[in-house]
Structure 1
């Protein structure tokens, strides 16, 4: 294996290409430690050492840091790792590690997301947001069957947050409330049934 290119990035990082293919990012200090230079040969043993003990270790730390403060979907974690210049094989190894500890679970994420949003957003809006986050439609459907009672009760909860009594509202206030609920993705016929 030949180191064909070392491309400088910012903050002392470099991209290392082996046999014309981008393999991983390192810091300039790592180049010195492992004596990596352009057009030099790199042994399989040194490559494996860098991959496992430097790059993969840092990628795992990055993934854990991303997951530390909030739950993420697998797609969101992959995106964060790609933004940090990790290659697909490294990301795959990180996901294997993360999944072995059940740190990410798209079904659990979908259930939790639905529970937290069902009082303020429509089923359609929540569904679209979960799809955008990269969650499989099967997992979303399963989570909805467990967590979402029905659209009517969600509308009632949303109305209760806006007003104590719909009967005491003026025509203009009702119109504004209907428009607000419709923008949130609730079905117009159900809104009118509850508010009129």
Structure 2
């Protein structure tokens, strides 16, 4: 048996150094000091010393987790990864995770719901993007689905999808109508909207006005490519300009008409 001969406060608040038989032995936190009722003159065997040090490891991990959670909500996986930077003791990490869950400081369902609400408020992404992000955070499929059903119903998906589509059509107004529509559709897919929602959205936002500027646009774009290929002989110049305009989504009739004007 060894005896505690000195308990010394560290400069860091809430931390203490323990001396056994006048030799420095190990540091502990204030809550461990209190929980184990440690006092000067207390006898400590190897088993008790290990229990105290294990408890201190948990205490340090717990406080680090609290600091990590103080800034924003985190998933269980995120906290576990953070604590793994401090120790490879999976048992102690699990103890801390379970303690935080019991205190409702860590809850993946609440995390998923908060994330969904944030995405809905930003009005930029569809449910697919949410699913991908939450999967990376190791949120379960059931938790993700419940959060989306509760906070991102299909009516809201359509509403946000229309806003995204309208903004995208405006950005592409100098393209051909077909190109603008194709790019808008691709944007919706990329942002995680479902095929069902995209079809509904496109039916709502695409009308004749999308194609209203095609004649003006093809004139401008054709002149640009006609100038670009000016060093080519006439046949190649014509073919390359036609190909460029076709890739831009203009109709064959409109292409033939503008080429005849350029020639």
- TM value normalised by structure 1: 0.70
Superposition deviation, residue 115 in structure 1: 1.1
CA distance in 2, matches of 1:132, 1:153: 27
Check the 8 A contact 2:169/2:181 in 1, yes or no: no
Which deviations, in whole Å up to 9, do the C-alpha atoms of 1:172-191 show, x marking residues without a partner?
54443333222212234344
**Are positions 1:178 and 2:185 aligned together?**
yes
- How does 1:28-107 map onto structure 2 within 5 Å? 33-34=24-25, 43-52=46-55, 54-107=56-109
CA distance in 2, matches of 1:63, 1:129: 22
**Are positions 1:152 and 2:158 aligned together?**
yes
Structure 1 residues 65, 86: closer, same or farther in 2, change over 3 A?
A: farther
Superposition deviation, residue 61 in structure 1: 0.9
Match of 2:205 in 1: 195
Check the 8 A contact 1:74/1:106 in 2, yes or no: yes
Structure 1 residues 44, 112: closer, same or farther in 2, change over 3 A?
A: same
CA distance in 1, matches of 2:87, 2:74: 19
Which is richer in helix?
2
Which deviations, in whole Å up to 9, do the C-alpha atoms of 1:83-128 show, x marking residues without a partner?
2224111111111221122111111111111111132111111112
Alignment RMSD:
3.1
Structure 1 unaligned spans of 5+ = 1-28, 36-41
CA distance in 1, matches of 2:18, 2:165: 59
Structure 1 residues 86, 57: closer, same or farther in 2, change over 3 A?
A: farther
CA distance in 2, matches of 1:47, 1:176: 63
Check the 8 A contact 2:162/2:205 in 1, yes or no: no
CA distance in 2, matches of 1:159, 1:74: 35
Structure 2 unaligned spans of 5+ = 1-16, 27-44, 207-263
Check the 8 A contact 1:155/1:181 in 2, yes or no: yes
Structure 1 residues 84, 193: closer, same or farther in 2, change over 3 A?
A: farther
Match of 2:134 in 1: 130
